[in-house]
Amino acid sequence: MLDKDLYEILGVSKGASESEIRKAFHKHAKKYHPDVNQGDKAAEQKFKEVNLAYEVLKDKKKRAHYDQMRAQGRNPFAQNAHAGGGGHFDPDAFADFGLGDLFEEIFGRGGFSAEAGPMGRGRTTYRTRGFAQRGHDREAALTISFQEAARGSERVLDLGGGRRISVKIPEGVEDGTKIKLSGQGDPGHNGGPNGDLLLRLQVLSHKDFKREKQNVVLPLAISFSEAVLGKQLEIPTLDGSVQLKIPAGISSGQRLRLKGKGIAASRNGQRGDQFVEIQIKVPKAPDDDYVKAAKLLENHPFNPRG
């Protein structure tokens, strides 16, 4: 069954990257999938081979071990000539390779039998009759708002085929966070478990707030007179509006802190802060009154550069 090289099964070179191996696997798995080739034993056999090849080559350690054995002229997946053919495999090679559990996962416990080996010692061989295979994992993007990421939410997703599932989005998630939905991937085969669905979160930007780790920053434009005289203003936060006193004499770039109005940390649930960043604005085309008021200060001794 698997006298061929694993790289040959996937149709990639021995120097193929992880991405190339993954793409080749998806291509062949789709081509030989049992759902697409119902009743086709040859396609089913190919599907098994493709899955086993991918399970080895996607893992750096297993791939390195496999490459080392092939360099020594050994193929751990070749038929065992001493077992009389019939789809038997060399158990000692599997033991060396550490893939007994992997082989069991792909071909099921029904593929194991014990028989006497040399010197009367019991040994295990592997048969390909019947297998329980786990379904493939799937990954999908889920776009959420800045508010949902900051405060958490719950979404109901339509998975198709009449399947709907409620998904809890934890408070404080970041762009790129993945949420695993166990058993919501592709269905298993021959009694095998379903794969998982991985949701990759894409967080939209906010028109007002910016995120700095667990803190949020709100740029706030104020007038020259508000900066000089101070002002009580209503400020938006993620939890609604609050009153904030702008102190007299504040400058552009200064930040005022609203404690606990930020985003919760995933490690301990403690919220960060909101910072209000002051931006003093003057009119681009000031009218006469504004110009007159400014001229009154023209000769004032205050020098911001001194």
Predicted confidence (pLDDT) per residue in 204-245, tens digit = 999 999 999 999 999 999 999 999 999 999 999 999 999 999
- Judge: domain 6-126, CATH 3.40.50.300: no
Q: How many helices (H) and strands (E) does the chain have?
A: 9, 13
CA distances from 68 to 11, 61, 74, 101 (A): 20, 11, 9, 20
pLDDT at residue number 99: 53
Q: How far, in Å, CA of 221 to CA of 271, rounded?
A: 25
SS3 for 170? coil
Sign of the alpha-carbon dihedral angle for 44, 48, 53, 58? positive
DSSP E strands: which ranges in 76-162?
112-116, 122-126, 138-144, 153-160
Q: How far, in Å, CA of 29 to CA of 185, rounded?
A: 15
Residue type (1 letter), 92:
D
Task: Tokens 């291509």: give the residue.
Answer: 27
Per-residue pLDDT of the chain (306 residues; tens, 9 = 90+): 456 788 999 999 999 999 999 899 888 888 888 777 777 888 888 888 888 888 888 888 888 888 887 887 776 665 543 444 444 444 444 444 455 544 554 444 444 333 333 333 334 343 444 467 788 888 888 899 999 999 998 988 887 777 788 899 999 999 999 999 888 888 887 778 888 888 899 999 999 999 999 999 999 999 999 999 999 999 999 999 999 999 999 999 999 999 999 998 877 778 999 999 999 999 999 899 989 888 888 888 888 887
pLDDT at residue number 135: 83
pLDDT at residue number 139: 85
pLDDT at residue number 78: 58
Q: How far, in Å, CA of 1 to CA of 47, rounded?
A: 12
Q: How far, in Å, CA of 239 to CA of 220, rounded?
A: 17
Q: How far, in Å, CA of 167 to CA of 154, rounded?
A: 6
Q: How many other CB atoms sit within 10 Å of the CB of residue 272?
A: 20
Q: How many other CB atoms sit within 10 Å of the CB of residue 224?
A: 15
Where in the chain are the domains?
6-126, 138-203, 222-296
CATH of domain 222-296: 2.60.260.20
CA angle 237, 223, 233 (to 5 degrees): 35
Beta bridge partners of 169: 153
pLDDT at residue number 128: 40
Contact 114, 105 (CB under 8 A): no
pLDDT at residue number 278: 96
What is the token pair recorded at 257? 């802190």
**pLDDT tens across 56-80, in order?**
888 888 888 888 878 877 766 655 4
Sign of the alpha-carbon dihedral angle for 95, 101, 106, 107? positive
pLDDT at residue number 84: 40
Q: What are the helix (H) ranges across 58-183?
A: 60-71, 91-97, 100-107, 146-151
CATH class of 138-203: mainly beta
pLDDT at residue number 67: 86
Residue type (1 letter), 11:
G
Helix (H) or strand (E) holding 164, with range, is strand 163-169
Give the total residue count for the chain.
306
Task: Tokens 């209000």: give the residue.
Answer: 276
Q: What burial letters (b/e) apply to 148-161, b meaning 16+ CB within 10 Å?
A: bbbeebeeebeeee
pLDDT at residue number 105: 46
- Are 138-203 and 222-296 equal in CATH topology? yes
Contact 149, 168 (CB under 8 A): no
pTM, rounded to two decimals: 0.54
Q: How far, in Å, CA of 16 to CA of 26, rounded?
A: 15
